[in-house]
Structure 1
Amino acid sequence: MKKILFVCTGNTCRSIMAEGIFNDAILKEEESMRQFVASSAGIAAFDGDCASENALNVMKSWNIDISCHKAKRITPEEVNSAFLILTMTREHKRVLHKFFPGAKDKIFTLKEFAYEDIEEIRIKSADISDPYGKDEDIYRECAVEIRDAVDKVIEKLKHKYI
């Protein structure tokens, strides 16, 4: 299995939504794509925290169940076992580059990896904004942004690694 590791700050909103969206989408792909599986972690996560209520609600409305999720802080083992690490922001990427310099070649922001066109990244904003503490509509907007990027990532994986 090739693990795609999604990383955000607390592993209760963005990265777990990305994990759920990715794994759900992969199940609908051809068999050869099932070599990829997503997991998630947070740079400053409190181990054991549940996904935020709004993240749960948005994912549930898309028939994606993240209710069993328990947040986890990123570890060297997670980094080493990952095929690809996709962060939600440039700052997350910078932090991971600092603490895991040997993994720089597999660490990208989600949008950086998804969208090759720099102008497209600039138009869409380079980071996935943190919805933490905001209302469900903001979570839904965030999830749509993540889903769009994840769809591009899957297409890229399909053409580059299959």
Structure 2
Amino acid sequence: MIRVLFVCTGNTCRSPMAEAILKNKGIPGIEVKSAGVYATEGMEASMHAKQVLEDNEMGQGHSSSPLTADAISWATHIFTMTEGHKSILVNSFPAAMDKTFTLKEFVYDDKYDRDISDPYGGSQKIYRETFEELQEAISRLINKLEE
């Protein structure tokens, strides 16, 4: 069983979109969750994130979760949205170092910019662009996980 944990800041924009994208692929043997390094428990996904997911027919009933030791131990693969998230995570949970990557670091061999753009506070258009960036990276992620 592959258990993927997506991590961002507040668990209301990028990681919930990534979680929804991968879950909606319906791939047997892959479980998905998301969390935030500074998340508050129980927040809904942002309005624009929910709209982008709805526009792409991806159901979600997201409720934010802070990053916990239980979530770290559950995951076989942890993908952060930025180098900063990765640094915070590894500093807090050093034992997770070998299974923690930025999403772009894992799926692109030579990508210089390893951060998924942060749409927080931006327009619906910016959220759509981040969604598309995540979709491309997650398509590559599926190929790598299935190798």
TM-score interval, normalised by the smaller of the two chains: over 0.9
Q: Does 1:35 align with 2:32?
A: no
In structure 2, stretches of 5+ residues that fail to align are: none
Q: Does 1:48 align with 2:36?
A: no
The equivalent of 1:144 in structure 2 is 132
Query: Residue deviations 1:28-76, cap 9 Å, x none?
Result: xxxxx4111111000000111100010000011110012x211010100
Separation (CA, whole Å) in 1 of partners of 2:81 and 2:52: 18
Separation (CA, whole Å) in 2 of partners of 1:113 and 1:150: 10
Query: Alignment partner of 2:3: what SS?
Result: strand
1:134 corresponds, among 111, 122, 136, to 122
1:105 corresponds, among 94, 98, 110, to 98
Separation (CA, whole Å) in 1 of partners of 2:106 and 2:119: 21
Query: Residue deviations 1:65-97, cap 9 Å, x none?
Result: 12x211010100000110100000000000111
The equivalent of 1:88 in structure 2 is 81
RMSD: 0.8
Structure 1 length normalisation: TM-score?
0.88
* Larger gyration radius, structure 1 or structure 2: 1
Q: Which has the higher helix share?
A: 1
Separation (CA, whole Å) in 1 of partners of 2:47 and 2:92: 31
Alignment length (residue pairs): 147
The equivalent of 2:146 in structure 1 is 158
Query: Alignment partner of 2:146: what SS?
Result: helix
Query: Given residue 105 of structure 1, which amino acid in structure 2 is its aligned partner?
Result: D
Q: Any runs of at least 4 consecutive aligned residues in structure 1 with deviations exceeding 3 A, and if so which?
A: none
Query: Alignment partner of 1:133: what SS?
Result: coil
The equivalent of 2:16 in structure 1 is 16
2:58 corresponds, among 61, 64, 71, to 64
Query: Alignment partner of 2:33: what SS?
Result: strand
In structure 1, stretches of 5+ residues that fail to align are: 28-32
Query: Alignment partner of 1:34: what SS?
Result: coil
The equivalent of 1:30 in structure 2 is none
Kindly state the Cα deviation for residue 2 of structure 1 after the two structures are TM-superposed: 2.3
The sequence identity of aligned pairs, in percent, is 43
Structure 2 length normalisation: TM-score?
0.97
